[in-house]
Amino acid sequence: MLVDAFERVPSPMTSILIENFHGAISRVDPTATAFPHREPGFNLVMTGEWLDAADDDANIGWVRETFDAVAPYTGSAVYMNYLGDDESQRVRAAYGPNWERLVALKRRWDPDNVFHLNQNVAPSG
């Protein structure tokens, strides 16, 4: 499926990566840090990149179509640093069981949400 999709990619700058997570990261308790996804396994990354704004529709369409095609074969976990600007609805899933603790920290240390120009953990949760 991924090979077939990649054969149709509109930009030579786009990539599909499969990362193998194992070893030291899988030996850390899921609640020891903000990042909870510690089980051994694989991570799929699709980076849609292109230069010409005239190609936006084709490239965004390819990424969304490819993502939707592989979604039934993937888990619900998501890595925070790989979220796009339009994926704020997935931030909570990125932190999993650590979400409430991070919201409490945000309320304590940044109640005015000064640091919000990222995949935000809002003080309101």
| Contacting residues for 112 by C-beta, under 8 A, at least 6 apart | 123
Q: What's the pTM value of the predicted model, to 2 decimals?
A: 0.75
Backbone phi and psi for residue 54, each to the nearest 5 degrees, phi listed first? -65, -20
Tens digits of residue pLDDT in 81-107: 888 878 888 899 899 999 999 999 999
Query: What pLDDT is attached to residue 119?
Result: 86
**Cα separation, 68 vs 7, whole angstroms:** 17
Tens digits of residue pLDDT in 46-55: 999 999 999 9
